[in-house]
Every structure is written in C-alpha cells, then in structure tokens.
Structure 1
Amino acid sequence: MARSSFPLRRALAVGLAATALALTSCSPPEPVDPVGPAPSAEGAPAEEASPSASAPAAGSGAEADVVAQYEAARAAVDLAERTAGGKAFELDDEDGGNWEVRVAVENEEFEVVVDAAGTEVLRSERDDSLDGEDAGRLNGVQIGLSEAIGIAVSEYTGTARLDDADLTTEGDTVAWEIGFVDDVEIYLDVLDGRVIRVD
C-alpha cells in the first residue's frame, strides 16, 4: 500500500498544475487605463498660461532707464570735473536730456555741458567769477557731488528720474540738495553723506 500511493500523489500534482495553467490562460486581460498618456509639454495648458514667467515684468524697462540715467548723471559730474579741473557743485538735467554741470576752479565758475549718457563733453566755458557763498560752502565739502548723488539714489524709494543737484544750507549745515522730477528732495550733509531730511 505504501508503494502504490506515490503514483497517486504524482498524478494529483500534475493535475493541479494543469488546472492552474488553464485558469491563467482564461483570466481576463489587464484593464487598460482609460485616461491615456499625459499630454506633451507642448500642448499642456500650463505652458500656455505662463508666458509672463520668462518675459520681463511690466515697467522693468522703464526702471532700467531710470537707473541708467542716475549712472549717467554721476558720470557727467566726473567728466565735467576732469575737463574743467575743479570741483562740481551744481548739476541740472536740461530739457534735451544733456547735463549742465557747474564746476568751481579756484575763484572761477565753469559751465560744462555733457551729453545724456555722461560720456562726451559738448561744451565747456568759463561762466563767471565764483560766487563767494558757493566758495564758502565748497570749502567744507568732503562728500563730492557724484558720491552724493549715489547716496541719494540709494535712499530714494521712488522711480522718478534725477532732476538737479546743488549746494545749499540746512540751518548751520552745508548740504547737498538732490532733487527728483517727482518733487522729492533729499538733503545730505557734505561732511559725511548723512541724510539730513527727505522732502
């Protein structure tokens, strides 16, 4: 009896294997994802809705122009001082965009006109004898006009163009008055560049 049970177990195992194979071959196919493949990046709505992400923000071009104008003003002052050989004490943005810089050379005042970019002298001439009041103010200047403009611009919170700059007094303090076209004026101590007040 023990010997006859081995063929029976083998036959039973073969039968079970055949049944499993039959069930596998008859099982239904894997369900297909009805959603389909994700759309390509080219046709994705998100890409169509985001052109502004790579484009410059509105107004950035205008702001860049203003920053360039500030730099041109400082360059114009530096160029005027080198041309006349003195110390600039007044700057004005002319209607045509050029810069008119007044430079003190000993006891004389020179008018130097520089182009809008601050790179070319258009005219340089002796204007008059230096005013005694301006001469007295210049004696105590430690922060030059170009540097004062840079300080004022860093303190300024608006976006207007630079209009003019000159020496003045605030009480007993000699100061640079830096004006912008939106009527904001920043006053700086000529000794150390300290902001005295902002109007």
Structure 2
Amino acid sequence: MTSTKLMIAVAAAGLLATTGCGEGAAGNNAATATDAAAKAAGDSTIAEGIGDADTFAAAAKQAGLDGTLAGPGPYTVLVPTNAAFDKLPAGTLDALMKDEAKAELTGVLTYHVLPGEILAADIGKAIEAGNGKALLATMAGGTLTATKEGDAIVVSDGAGSKARISGGDERRSNGVIHRIDTVLMPS
C-alpha cells in the first residue's frame, strides 16, 4: 500500500471512529447517539430531506440511488444546490442524465456520499487533527480533502474544485445532509 493510500485509509478510519464511537468515556453507547439523531429527525430519511435540491433528487432517481438514500444508512451526503448544478459546463448535466451515462452519474453522486454520520464539527476536528486538512473517503472509492477557509469548511475534489458547506448538520433518520455550493467531480 502506498503511503498516500495508507494516509487516506487511516484518516477515513479515524474519522469514522470519531463519529461512530460517540464522545467521552468508553461506556458511552453509540446506539444511543444514533437513536437520539433518529428521534430528532423523526422518520424523515435523507431521500425525503433533500428538499429544494430538485436537480440532485432527480439525478439520484435517475441513477437508482433514491432507494439507497431512503435506506437504513447511516450516510453523510454532500448535497449540491440547484445553483451548484447550474455552474457545470453547458451540457454536462444533460449528458449525465442520459440512460447510457447511468454508471458515470452514479459515480458522480456517490462521490458526494460518505459512509457513516459525519457532522460538521467532526470534520472540523479532523481538519485540526490533520494540521489543516482531512481526507474523506467517499462511497465512490474516491477521496475529498476538507480544509477551512475562515470559519467555513471547504471540500475539494481531485481536480481542485472547491465546494463550501453552506448548510450543514441536517439530521435525518438515516444520516446527515450538508448543503454545498459546487458539484464535486471524481477524477
């Protein structure tokens, strides 16, 4: 395993351990935290909580991911706003929404999904622990880099495109949603 891949694996494992184990003494029960989050979110899943991000919702349905986002999770989804999709080069979204591009669309969308429930504070702590950056493993098998610009958390894709988390910690029964202002693309 290369040192870069090892660093990604260690960062992802550490981030998941931070979010999965709860805070405080070893006697804390992670299920209690999950139950509390589910109670706060009610029965609303990530799929139902996407709200006014119509483009992401339509793309998830086209890719067949709407059922997954309604499933048990937990997931953390970085949901690009409609305005984020509008910033894509002309024709990109139309090409991705074609039946023959389903695999590519799925890759783009799962690049926005992280395993586990990762709150903004967890990302912030990982950035601090990583001396200014944290590597986040995606469900697509890629890696996002999280940094801070002022008080804002920014995630970057492999090509260097940056998305600012503009609304975060929208808890749902199967995870959490963070709104972002740019569509991230796997390299």
Q: TM-score range with shorter-chain normalisation?
A: under 0.3
Larger relative contact order (C-alpha < 8 A, sep ≥ 6)?
Answer: 2
TM-score (norm 1): 0.22
- The structure with more radius of gyration: 1
TM-score, normalized by length of structure 2? 0.23
